[in-house]
């Protein structure tokens, strides 16, 4: 039997690489695509020897060409941490808008179903808690996060327009904070920042007083939710995340305990527009996909810590890999 063919953009990134693994495991033919601005081929090098994996180094904001048939497209190419959007704001805007437009065009030409990676950032600094999919959000379009948030909001709008106007089969996942192996050590996100600092013997940089909250989902749970959503017949946005909410201060304390580090939490200025609280309402995912997270934080953090601990020392201590 011929394998189904899936295109995954952002394939060399944290989430993209885990999705490639999952679709390979499900016996798909996987076509990975990435321009390697924030992705790293190390994340997928184990797949290159497989006959059902191929890779294109391509900037999807420019033009996307894929020979042959496609059954599914998963658009996961995008810088995805506040530090990245500050460094490359224009690329962030382009991949969410022009890149999404190109991939929708490709999906239409190939009569493929497309799933786009949206984000809890569409809710901005939310005034509704926990956030459900009917909440429209509280976003500052001209703040530092605006380039990501508004690109993702545009992405949702154009995806819905292709669904309505062209009858394209579309899926929209709103991803909440996710963690696991292959996160970039220097991407500025709180988990690699804290674990990297703990391993280097540095104090942990807590922004503000650490009273802001997040809800962290282990990557395997997220991938399962995305897989189910893709194969479902539901075209409206679905939150996928773990509702287990924690303050950043408590999270830092958990990391210190986990790593056995003797350092302390030190306070640094809170970034502009940093959301004060975030927690997904996953009622819809439960009802429509029969999905809920299975991995609790202590389990997921242990696996993730092992990954970072086993990174070569030169990567851990190389200033280029260090977030400052």
Active site residue 148: yes
User: How near is the Cβ of 121 to ligand UDP at its closest, in Å?
Assistant: 7
Nearest to 180 by CA among 13, 307, 78, 282: 307
Q: Given the complex with ligand UDP, which of 78 and 102 has the nearer CB atom?
A: 78
**Packing angle between helix 146-166 and helix 100-110, nearest 10 degrees?**
20
Q: Given the complex with ligand UDP, which of 255 and 285 has the nearer CB atom?
A: 255
Give the separation between CA 169 and CA 292, rounded to whole angstroms: 24
Q: Given the complex with ligand UDP, which of 81 and 170 has the nearer CB atom?
A: 81
User: How near is the Cβ of 189 to ligand UDP at its closest, in Å?
Assistant: 3
User: How near is the Cβ of 91 to ligand UDP at its closest, in Å?
Assistant: 17
Q: What values do phi and psi take at 97, rounded to 5?
A: -100, -70
Q: What values do phi and psi take at 280, rounded to 5?
A: -75, 140
Tokens 């950043």 belong to residue:
248
Q: Given the complex with ligand UDP, which of 269 and 290 has the nearer CB atom?
A: 269
Which of 28, 148, 227, 305 does the annotation list as catalytic?
148
Q: Given the complex with ligand UDP, which of 189 and 284 has the nearer CB atom?
A: 189
What's the token pair of residue 323? 């977030």
Give the separation between CA 9 and CA 23, rounded to whole angstroms: 13
Upstream peptide bond of 130 is cis (omega within 30 degrees of 0): yes
User: How near is the Cβ of 258 to ligand UDP at its closest, in Å?
Assistant: 16
User: How near is the Cβ of 275 to ligand UDP at its closest, in Å?
Assistant: 6
User: How near is the Cβ of 82 to ligand UDP at its closest, in Å?
Assistant: 5
CA distances to 169, 170, 226, 307 from 179, rounded to whole Å, are 29, 26, 15, 12
Q: Given the complex with ligand UDP, which of 267 and 283 has the nearer CB atom?
A: 267
Interaction site with ligand UDP (CB under 6 A): 81-82, 177, 188-190, 193, 205-207, 212, 214, 248, 271, 274
User: How near is the Cβ of 185 to ligand UDP at its closest, in Å?
Assistant: 12
Residues 100 and 116 sit within 8 Å (Cβ to Cβ): yes
What's the token pair of residue 8? 């995954």
Q: Given the complex with ligand UDP, which of 82 and 225 has the nearer CB atom?
A: 82
Report the catalytic residues. Answer: 148
């Amino acid at each position: 039997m011929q394998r189904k063919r899936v295109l995954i953009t952002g394939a060399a990134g944290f989430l993209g690489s885990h999705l490639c693994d999952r679709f390979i495991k499900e016996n798909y033919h996987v076509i990975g695509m990435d321009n390697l601005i924030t992705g790293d081929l190390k994340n997928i090098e184990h797949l290159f020897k497989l006959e059902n994996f191929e890779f294109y180094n391509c900037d999807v904001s420019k033009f996307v060409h894929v020979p042959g048939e496609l059954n599914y497209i998963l658009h996961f190419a995008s810088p995805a941490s506040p530090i990245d959007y500050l460094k490359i704001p224009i690329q962030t805007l382009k991949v969410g808008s022009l890149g999404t437009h190109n991939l929708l065009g490709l999906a239409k030409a190939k009569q493929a179903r497309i799933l786009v990676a949206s984000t809890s950032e569409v809710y901005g600094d939310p005034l509704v808690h926990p956030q459900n999919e009917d909440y429209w959000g509280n976003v500052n379009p001209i703040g530092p996060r605006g380039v990501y948030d508004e690109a993702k909001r545009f992405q949702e709008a154009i995806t819905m327009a292709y669904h309505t106007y062209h009858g394209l089969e579309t899926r929209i996942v709103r991803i909440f904070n996710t963690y696991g192996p292959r996160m970039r050590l220097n991407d500025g996100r709180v988990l690699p920042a804290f674990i990297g600092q703990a391993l280097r013997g540095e104090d942990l940089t807590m922004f503000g007083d650490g009273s802001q909250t997040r809800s962290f989902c282990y990557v395997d749970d997220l991938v399962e939710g995305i897989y189910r959503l893709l194969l479902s017949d539901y075209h409206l946005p679905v939150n996928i995340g773990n509702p287990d909410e924690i303050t950043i201060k408590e999270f830092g304390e958990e990391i210190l305990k986990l790593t056995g580090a003797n350092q302390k939490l030190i306070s640094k200025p809170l970034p502009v527009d940093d959301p004060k609280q975030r927690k997904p309402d996953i009622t819809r995912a439960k009802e429509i996909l029969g999905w809920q997270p299975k991995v609790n934080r202590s389990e997921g953090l242990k696996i993730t810590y092992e990954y970072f601990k086993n990174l070569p020392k030169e990567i851990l201590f190389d200033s280029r890999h260090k977030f400052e």
